[in-house]
Every structure is written in structure tokens, then in C-alpha cells.
Structure 1
Amino acid sequence: MGKKIAIYGAGTIGACQATLTSGNGYSTVVIGHSEEGLSRCRNTMLQNWNDLIAQKLATAANRRAAMDLVTITNDVSALRDCDIVFEAVSEDVNIKQRVYSIITEVCGRDIIVVSTTSSIDAAILAEKIENPARFLIAHPFQPVHMLPLVEVVRHTETSEETLNQVCTLLKDLNRQVVMLNRSVPGFLVNRFAQALFRESIYLIEQGITTAADIDRAIKYAVGMRYASIGLLEYYDAVGFELERAIALNVYPDLCDTKSIQKTTLVGIASGRTGQKAGQGLYDWSEKDEDDFRYRKQAPYFEGVRQWHMPE
């Protein structure tokens, strides 16, 4: 493959990004902080491989060969020979700036740095790095090694060479790339998601339906429909006249609150904050954790067959 990839950050995103790169034959360095974090990163990667092996998408030999390509360390000098560094640390501008300084100090100012941020403006981050021409955002989605979409966000100083090198790598990793010429809050997918979340919480709070029925509607209509044809292909297929008529009926009744909704605030105050807390919109004690992890990955299994796995 030639290129040596680094991931600065040993959390879930970093571990799954490293699973993807090493699983496609790239020598990969993961920079973490604590020994506990490094161990957790390795265990996450092994769990990713075990899931693939269970689905007969990989073998134990693939797992061994891929893990042999990975260095997981807190020694930043391991960055020295890398060609591209993916930054996957906390969503804190100051922390990211410190990481960019470390990367530049070790690798020089010509190293390509790619942030995986899901929320920070590319122009803001570009101000925090010594050579902004060599910087852009490539925002992946969980689980990062499985879900193929990456939102690439450039800023006014991103060079064409940087853009081309990053997109070439992503496409070699069998990623589907969407391009944003500048940042907007939430980029594309999280903007769509927040609109759906807001409307869903509103409908629950109004007593109109339940979380389970909303999820059923998404899984068996919205998700299936737009997985086979695009959202805007569907809009064109319906036609502007009918869509106008629907919009005139629906737009006035849509939730348009600019505030965090009561369900979320009460959940935070009471500790019922979702899956990790055991309770959120669902009682997670009634759900099978392994089944949920399988269902999160299942739509993407076929894409793994396109990996260039080491043996």
C-alpha cells in the first residue's frame, strides 16, 4: 500500500478507524494517552475482528495479519514516518490545537492532518494548525470501520493536493465521500438526524405515538425507501406539485423549537440518559446487547467483502 497511517486518539472512533486502515493492509499507528485507554483500544479492535469472523467476513489469519500492522502507543515519536494523521480526540478546540502542535513538532508542517470532528467548523480548526493548506475534516460515522460514508469538509485554504490525497485514500478504503465546500453546523447527516430527532421527541411528548412505533416507521419505510433511492431522487419522483401540497399541510405543524426538549432535559436530570445508563427512551435492560451490536453493523457487512485484507 505504501502509505503509513496514524490515528491520534485511541477511543472508539480511533479504534474503528484503525480496524479499517489495517484491515485494508495499511501500516497503522494509534496514539493514545493512558495504558487503560490503549488496552481498551486493542480490545475494541479485537471485538471488531471477532464480529467479522463470526459473520464469515474474515478469518483468524486476517485478524492476526491486520493486528500485526498496528502499533498502539502513547509515544508520539511513532508518528514520525506517517503520511497522514487522522485526529480523533475530544471535541474541544484547545485539546485539538495541542494535538496539532505535537503532530507538527514530530512530523513537520507538511504532514496532512485530517480531523474526524462531528461538530467543529473547519475554518476554526484551520486557524489552530501551522499549515492550514494541509488540513481538512473527514467525518466518519459509527461504526467507523463498517459504515461507508465520510463527509469531507474543506475550508478556504485547503489545497487541492491535500484534498486529492485524502479522497484517494478514502476511496481506496471503499468509503463513499460527500464533499462540503465549507462547514455548516452538523455538516449533512447530523443536520438531517437532528431534524428527525426533534420531530420524534415532539410527537412522543404530544402523546401521539411511542419511541418503538417511530423506530418501526423509520426501519420499515423511511430507512428502506431512502436506502434504495436517494432522498431527492424520491422528491423528484413524487414531483414538485404534490410535494408542495404536502408541505402546505405539514410545514405549519412541524416542531420548530430552538430549545432542548423536556424529554432530554428530564432524562439528563434523572440520570436516564440512554443505553449506557440502562434507561433512556427505552429500557435497555430488556434489550440484548449483542443483538443490538449486530444490528448496528448488519447493513454494512457486504461492504467488508471489498476490503483488501492482509493475510
Structure 2
Amino acid sequence: MEKIAVYGSGTIGSCEATLIIGHGLPCTVIGHSERGLERCRKAVAQNWEDLIANGLATEDNKTAALALLTVTNDPTALAGCTYIFEAVAEGNAEKQAVYENIAKYAEPDAVVASCSSSISAEILADLSPKPENLLIAHPFQPVHMLPLVEVVRHEKTAQSAIGRTLALLETLHRQVVVLNRSVPGLLVNRFAQALFRESIYLIEQGVTTAADIDRAVKYAVGMRYASIGLLEYYDDVGFQLESTIAGNVYPDLCDAKGIQRITQEGLDSGRTGRAAGQGLYDWSKKDLDDFRLRKQSPYFNGVKDWTMPK
């Protein structure tokens, strides 16, 4: 059995730790500031409170799970660890320092799984003293509930690291896709950026509103591909019809190569999204607790498969 650590005490690290202890496995979280550690503890506790509030866990489960969690700023706590999720800031210097600490304190054959989606596996490998043990394992928020992880190898990744990663992630997260090399955005974020770009373009062109775009995605696109695959649908429609549709639609699709006007205006004015209170929506008019619940609710059934501690 792997002895697991999470290097990084932010949102991703906190949720990954929630998932690990939710399966009855000990987890050590390594942070870099007392403020970050306290934020991590509160985030993990809030995750468990949300599970309890929705009938997915009990207070006993929470107590037993939290007893499995160690949160510290001391990298020597990596001693004996065989599998480390790296979830620190997206900077080469930050990640290199983490990889050096892991090589110094963890087990010699420890696998390092970076949660990065913006730095290629090849670049990360060059930052690591042991590139053969490094790969990307990119999860999605809320990390402790969404089942998919994108695993990305590079030319030096050992097959043993891939095998151990698949064995662990198929237990914790359940669904894994493997990329043989990095591409910007990997799979899911690449798909998302195409939708975001087209959506912003349609708003800029005065075609429709953010609310109606979200309604179209929630009640058609999202529902359709929740039960069948995107490319299953493509095959079902057939190449002949899809080629006709493509001929009509492709020439009109947004092909912007830079930041779009609405986004730039938001950056310039400080209207940068939920955290700022204003973005495409006025978040002062939204129930943030309801939003947090809606972000999690599609994944509640998966929690029932956890092997929770008692």
C-alpha cells in the first residue's frame, strides 16, 4: 500500500487530502505557511461538513478521517512516503524546490504526481532530480468528488510509475485517462477553452446572454454527454451529416488567438469573476452556499463508494 502525501495546502491539496482520508488512508499535507495550514484544515473540515449535511457521511466518519490527517510545514514529514501529489503554485522555481525536497526526504522510488495543467510534463521532468518517477495527474474541482484524473507521461516516465499511478487513482478517483505527451490544456481544459471562447464571442456579438448560454449547456450539452460520449454521439449522427454541419458552422466559429474583449475589460475594471463579486454575473445576487452545493451535487453518488473510516 502506498504511503501518501500531498505537497501543497491550497484548494487542490485540501480536496485531494479529503479524498485520501475519506478512503481510510493516512495522508500528510506539506504546506509552507501557518496561514496556509490553517486554511487547509478549515477547507478539509468544510468538505466533511458538506458531506454530512447531504447524508453522505457521519460525524464518526469525519472524526475518524481527520485523525488520519497530518498537516505540517516540515518537509521531513515526507519520510517513508512512497506517493506524493504535488499541488503547489504554477511556477518552475516553486516546483523544482518541492521536487528536491521530495528526493531528499521521501522514499527513493517515490512517485511524484504533479497536479499541474499548465506546465508540460517534459518541463516538469527537467526540474526533477528523478524524472523517471514524475508524471502529471491532473484532477478537477471539486477534487475530492469529481471522478476523472488526466495522467500525462513524458519520454522518461518509468512504466512502473504509470502502473502504480493507475492502481492508486482507479481506487481513489475511479476514472483515468492517459496522455502520452503534454498538450496545452490537456483534454478537459482544452475542450473547456473552446467552449469559453465561443461563448464569450457570442455575448460580444450580441447573439445571447451568459444566462442563456449556461442554460443551453446545462440542459442540452451537459445532459447529453453525461450519459453518452462526445464521439459516440459523433458516430451516431454520422460523418455525412456532421460534415454538412461543419461546412455550415466552422467558417463562423470564433478563431480568436488572444484575450477577448469582455475578459480584458473585466481585468481592466476589476470585475474578474466570483471572487470579485462581479464578472459575467453579479455575484451579490447569488447564494454562494447554493453555488458550492451545486458544484458538488453531480458527484454525490460517487462518495457512496468511499471506504470511509469509522
Query: Which residue of the partner structure matches residue 125 of structure 1?
Result: 124
Q: Structure 1: which amino acid aligns with 2:58?
A: T
What root-mean-square deviation, in Å, do the aligned CA atoms of Structure 1 and Structure 2 show?
A: 0.7
Q: Does 1:288 align with 2:282?
A: no
Determine if contact 2:3/2:80 at 8 Å carries over to the other structure: yes
Superposed CA deviations along residues 161-209 of structure 1, whole A, max 9, x for unmatched, are 1100011000111420001000000000010000000000000000000
Query: Which residue of the partner structure matches residue 34 of structure 1?
Result: 33
Stretch moving more, 209-218 or 86-95: 86-95
Query: Which residue of the partner structure matches residue 64 of structure 1?
Result: 63
Determine if contact 1:3/1:26 at 8 Å carries over to the other structure: no
Pairs within 5 Å for 1:66-85: 66-85=65-84
Stretch moving more, 52-61 or 170-179: 170-179
Determine if contact 2:149/2:173 at 8 Å carries over to the other structure: no
Pairs within 5 Å for 1:210-221: 210-221=209-220
Query: Which residue of the partner structure matches residue 114 of structure 1?
Result: 113
CA distance in 2, matches of 1:94, 1:159: 24
Q: Identify unmatched segments of 5+ residues in structure 2.
A: none
Query: After the TM superposition, which segments of 4 or more aligned residues of structure 1 sit over 6 Å from their partners?
Result: none
Q: Structure 2: which amino acid aligns with 1:234?
A: Y
Superposed CA deviations along residues 267-295 of structure 1, whole A, max 9, x for unmatched, are 00100000000000000000000000000
CA distance in 2, matches of 1:37, 1:136: 25
- 1:109 positional shift: 4.0
Q: Identify unmatched segments of 5+ residues in structure 1.
A: none
Stretch moving more, 170-179 or 142-151: 170-179
- 1:131 positional shift: 1.3
| TM-score between the two structures when normalised by the length of structure 2 | 0.99
Q: Percent identity?
A: 65
Query: Which residue of the partner structure matches residue 50 of structure 1?
Result: 49
Number of residue equivalences: 310
Q: Does 1:16 align with 2:15?
A: yes
Q: Structure 2: which amino acid aligns with 1:236?
A: D
Determine if contact 2:169/2:176 at 8 Å carries over to the other structure: yes
- 1:4 positional shift: 1.6
Determine if contact 1:7/1:17 at 8 Å carries over to the other structure: yes
| TM-score between the two structures when normalised by the length of structure 1 | 0.99
Pairs within 5 Å for 1:83-102: 83-102=82-101
Determine if contact 2:81/2:107 at 8 Å carries over to the other structure: no
CA distance in 2, matches of 1:108, 1:170: 20
Q: Structure 2: which amino acid aligns with 1:57?
A: L
